[in-house]
Copies of this chain bind each other. A is one copy, B any other.
Amino acid sequence: MGKALPRSPLAPAGFPELPEVRGLELGVAEAGTRYRGRLDAMLAVLPEGSAVAGVLTRSATASSDVLGCREVLARGGTGRAAILVSAGNANAFTGKAGDGSVAAIRTGVAGAAGVPEARVLTSATGVIGEPLPHDRILAVLDRLAAGGASWEDAANAIRTTDTFPKGAGGRVGGAALAGIAKGSGMIAPDMATMLAYVFTDAAIRADRLQAMLARQAARTFNRITVDSDTSTSDTLLLAATGMAGPVDEAAFEEALHGVLLDLAHQIVRDGEGATKFVTVRVTGAETEGDAERVARAIADSPLVKTAIAGEDPNWGRVVMAVGKSGARADRDRLAIRFGDVLVASDGWVHPGYREEDAAAHMKGREVTIHVNLGLGRAEATVWTCDLTHGYIDINADYRS
């Protein structure tokens, strides 16, 4: 299972204070599917009138749990619902046995929590290709259904090798909004998995909840990258109990954006081996798609990420990444900044550029790369971390 990893140097000071979401019951337990002596299962039970929205991995080899979530979400509607998450075994690439585990858990949760089977969502994260011993989860269902868990317990129960629990929340009018996430630690032979669960007691119709979540996931979770690899199990769910009544939906969506972005940034801050939190901002693009393509090419480039690890203001590698992105770009209109330092403009190094200024910015924990393509008004931002020996240690040298 690998050695315990030290807490990320980019971790926040502590777990945040999160508001109570009316009608939501959180339960946690030690199921022991893989880990021993720690919380590894979480159950969220949602009351009558609840709506659930979700964004799931686009992987063609998605896990049985993801396939199950897709079915539940496709049905839509409101009513009692439950979300069960277990950590330690991903139940991915386990063939028909994986589908069977999901079915068994859904039946069990439906009975224990008084929820229709067709409204039970499940997630699993951890080792891949091993059968999920789901009897161990069934054995702790009563404890999970008893509720009473804190947000921090719930965030801890869904961790795999995350080095800190992740939570974020806020208020919109009289309604509360709070969520937890896990990622992107890893245990060989596992793959990183991003899971996030956000709850509100605002009353919002299921179809509008889904539309908001899709829009805001695209601008938050879908704009982070640690190593460009996509998990078979990525799951983001948003549930609304409705018990605080209607809210201003524009204000709600803005608050939702803030919570999703906060959780997404925490995942980057726990990226494997990360020592720098990197913001890649691209402006002056012809379209937002082009801006995102360039930002992602920079944020995914191993050469850019190793240069950041080495605290090297290597703008040549940024030019390279712009060029390979597939977006429209013009060498002679590019401007590149590290932090506030203008490095390159008009197709060449800026006349006033002094490498020591950019090098000073690169020494900080927070690095910003800003590329202005000089072609239009569209922009996009992608967040990532550096690529260090720690990444190789975690993924090559540690064995389960």
Also in contact, A306 and B392, with CB within 8 A (given A319-B92, A320-B232, A323-B232): yes
Stretch at the interface among A37-45, A54-62, A259-267: A54-62
Q: Which residues of B contact A344 (CB under 8 A)?
A: 93, 129
* Inter-subunit contact B331/A230 (CB<8 Å): no
Stretch at the interface among A16-24, A153-161, A187-195: A187-195
Closest B residue to A345 by beta carbon equals: B95
Stretch at the interface among A28-36, A249-257, A277-285, A307-315: A307-315
Closest B residue to A128 by beta carbon equals: B316
Question: What's the nearest-Cβ distance from chain B to residue A341, in Å?
Answer: 15
Interface presence of A78 (CB below 8 A): no
Interface presence of A94 (CB below 8 A): yes
Main secondary structure of the interface of A (DSSP, over half): loop
Of B61, B347, B395, which contacts A306 at CB under 8 A?
B395
Alpha-carbon distance between A301 and B302 when the two chains are bound, in angstroms: 11
Also in contact, A303 and B129, with CB within 8 A (given A388-B396, A396-B310): no
* Inter-subunit contact A319/B189 (CB<8 Å): no
Residue in A61, A189, A317, A327 whose Cβ sees the most chain B Cβ within 10 Å: A61
Closest B residue to A355 by beta carbon equals: B189
Interface presence of A397 (CB below 8 A): yes
Q: Which residues of B contact A128 (CB under 8 A)?
A: 316, 319-320
* Inter-subunit contact A320/B61 (CB<8 Å): yes
Q: Which residues of B contact A127 (CB under 8 A)?
A: 316
Alpha-carbon distance between A310 and B398 when the two chains are bound, in angstroms: 8
Q: Which residues of B contact A129 (CB under 8 A)?
A: 315-316, 319, 344, 348-349
* Inter-subunit contact B348/A93 (CB<8 Å): yes
Interface presence of A324 (CB below 8 A): yes
Of B189, B310, B319, B321, which contacts A397 at CB under 8 A?
B310
Write the A226-256 contact mask toward B (1 if CB under 8 angstroms, else 0).
0111111000000000000000000000000
Write the A323-336 contact mask toward B (1 if CB under 8 angstroms, else 0).
11111111110100
Known: A60-B323, A61-B323, A188-B314. 16 other contacts (CB 8 A): A58-B324, A60-B324, A61-B322, A93-B344, A94-B347, A190-B316, A191-B303, A191-B316, A191-B320, A229-B321, A306-B391, A306-B395, A309-B396, A310-B398, A312-B399, A389-B389
Write 26 A-B pairs (CB below 8 A) sorted by A numbering.
Answer: A60-B326, A60-B328, A60-B330, A61-B331, A92-B319, A95-B331, A129-B316, A189-B312, A191-B316, A191-B317, A192-B303, A229-B301, A229-B303, A229-B317, A229-B321, A232-B320, A302-B387, A306-B396, A309-B392, A310-B396, A312-B396, A312-B399, A387-B392, A387-B396, A388-B392, A389-B389
Across the A-B interface, the 3 shortest Cβ-Cβ residue pairs: A61-B323, A59-B323, A128-B316
